[in-house]
């Protein structure tokens, strides 16, 4: 009687269902094989991961601090180099003469002009031969002399000033400190 209830003409095929089951099983096997490849790597613990991240941040911060320290040391050396410098700005002169800065010390003298980076040095001698040669190379009609006299060079100034005055130079002077470097700057 059971055979009578079933119709022989309407048969259902389970081939598509078997196909799906086989495909799913294959994918699961593939995933299982891939997971076994990562089985030998130890898992990264959250605390260790955080520790490693913090270590990297500390190293980056240390590198930034080292760079800033180097920049600050460079600025400090530049500031130290400028500490002993005095920039002399000449007063406006109605005659239009160019100022020549002469800094006198006990052993030598330095001459510089506006915009000149190198100072010309001459030795302090009793006969002032070096200073006289420099005076001969200058023109009293277009240049004026500005003396900065250190305490150790007062005697030298007493011999240099009359030499410049005898050649008709306009002269100005002021006291200077022993350990300072004087540079002529543009007004």
How does pLDDT run along the chain (187 residues), one tens digit per residue? 555 555 566 676 777 788 888 999 999 999 888 888 777 766 666 778 888 889 999 999 999 999 999 999 999 888 777 777 777 777 777 778 888 888 888 888 888 887 776 778 888 777 888 888 888 888 888 888 888 898 888 888 888 889 889 988 888 888 888 887 877 777 6
Same domain? For 36 and 127 the reply is no
Find tokens 């005055």 and name the residue.
165
Token code pair at residue 87: 């920039």
Residue 63 has a pLDDT of 95
Rounded to two decimals, what is the model's pTM?
0.54
Same domain? For 77 and 28 the reply is yes
Same domain? For 105 and 76 the reply is no
Same domain? For 115 and 156 the reply is yes
Same domain? For 98 and 179 the reply is yes
Same domain? For 27 and 107 the reply is no
Same domain? For 76 and 90 the reply is no
**Separation between Cα atoms, residue 151 and residue 148, nearest integer Å:** 10
Residue 86 has a pLDDT of 74
> How many distinct structural domains can be found in the chain?
2
The domain boundary residue, chosen from 34, 67, 83: 83
């Amino acid at each position: 009687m059971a055979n009578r209830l079933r119709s022989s003409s309407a048969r259902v095929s389970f081939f598509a269902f078997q196909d799906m089951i086989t495909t799913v099983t294959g994918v699961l096997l593939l995933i299982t094989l891939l997971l076994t490849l990562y089985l030998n790597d130890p898992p990264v613990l959250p605390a260790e991961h955080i520790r490693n991240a913090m270590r990297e941040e500390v190293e980056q911060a240390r590198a930034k601090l080292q760079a800033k320290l180097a920049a600050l040391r460079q600025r400090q050396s530049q500031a130290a180099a400028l500490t002993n410098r005095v920039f002399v700005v000449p007063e406006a002169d109605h005659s239009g003469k160019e100022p020549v800065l002469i800094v006198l010390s006990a052993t030598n003298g330095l001459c510089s002009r506006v915009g000149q980076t190198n100072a010309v040095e001459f030795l302090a001698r009793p006969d002032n031969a070096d200073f006289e040669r420099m005076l001969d190379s200058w023109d009293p009609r277009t240049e004026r002399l500005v003396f900065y006299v250190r305490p150790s060079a007062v005697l030298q100034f007493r011999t240099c000033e009359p030499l410049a005055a005898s050649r008709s130079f306009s002269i100005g002077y002021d006291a200077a400190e022993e350990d300072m470097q004087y540079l002529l700057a543009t007004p």
